[in-house]
Amino acid sequence: MRPRRDGRRICPQGTARRDTAMRIAVIGAGNVGGALTRGLTRTGHAVTVTATDPDHASALADQTGASAAATAADAVESAQAVIIAVPHTATAGLAGELSGAVTGKVVIDATNPVGDQPGRSAVTDRSAAEHLQDALPGAHVVKAFNTVFAANQADPVVHGVALDGFYAGDHEPAKQTVRDLLAGLGYRPVDAGPLSAALSLEHLALLNISLNARHGWAWRDGWKLVGPTD
């Protein structure tokens, strides 16, 4: 990463080329949705953001140069990819709203099914991403962005090291789309396998949540595989 004149850093890949820039809907304007909106607009993508509170979406759009939509259905209408960045408990209702609108689209599940205690999952033998795929049968669900804390999502570099961006899904073209988004933001993309592997990615995230809660860490660390990976 190299510094810009305003002190921010840009990834070595630079901004998205005109032929690779995408129309992306971000559902959720909280910490995760805000970070991803900032990162994606910075790298040249056309982002539309929406939130339960329209004022939150409008404020984020004003800060980042994104557009704001009144509803999730409006946000995804012309989007090529949709990022779900809401609490896990809100995904079932959201899926009901979006079911027909996301047919054929890439849907990126950035949620974590946090249970009643830090590190405990609200799901058991199947991941939240798989449940979301069941609820959106026409979409191509890919798990991604869930293993990195919001503080690092717009600029995924810690102590000069690019964090690993794990992703999992069953549709290869959708996975390639997500890989390109991860790389453009500055992650090292790591293909974790089919969507069933999302359960492991959610547990990886929940472990980090538990570690930070238990030890009073700063919620800015991230996962990185070291050693030969090719």
- Cβ-based neighbours of 19, under 8 Å, separated by 6 or more: none
Res. 95: pLDDT tops 70: yes
Q: Give the per-residue pLDDT at 8.
A: 35
Of 51-65, 114-128, 196-210, where does mean pLDDT reach its minimum? 114-128
Torsion-angle region of residue 28: left (phi > 0), alpha (psi -120 to 50) or beta? left
Query: Measured between alpha carbons, how far is 175 from 197 in angstroms, rounded to an integer?
Result: 13
**For residues 176-204, average pLDDT:** 97
Q: Which two tokens stand for residue 29?
A: 């304007």
Res. 82: pLDDT tops 90: yes
Q: Give the per-residue pLDDT at 6.
A: 35
Res. 210: pLDDT tops 60: yes
Strand-pairing partners, residue 81, are 24, 106
Query: Measured between alpha carbons, how far is 136 from 120 in angstroms, rounded to an integer?
Result: 25
What string of DSSP letters covers 33-50?
Answer: HHHHHHHHHHTT-EEEEE
User: How far is the CA of 75 from the CAs of 4, 10, 57, 81, 90, in angstroms?
Assistant: 31, 27, 11, 11, 17
Q: What is the pLDDT of residues 22-45, one digit of tens each?
A: 999 999 999 999 999 999 999 999
Q: Give the per-residue pLDDT at 54.
A: 96
* CA atoms in the 13 A half-sphere facing the CB of 57: 22
User: How far is the CA of 96 from the CAs of 27, 78, 93, 215, in angstroms?
Assistant: 14, 18, 5, 38
Question: Alpha helices of the chain — where are they, by DSSP H?
Answer: 31-42, 54-64, 72-76, 91-98, 128-135, 150-153, 172-185, 198-215
Q: What is the pLDDT of residues 104-157, one digit of tens each?
A: 999 999 999 886 666 566 566 899 999 999 999 999 999 999 999 999 999 999
Q: Which two tokens stand for residue 125?
A: 């033998």
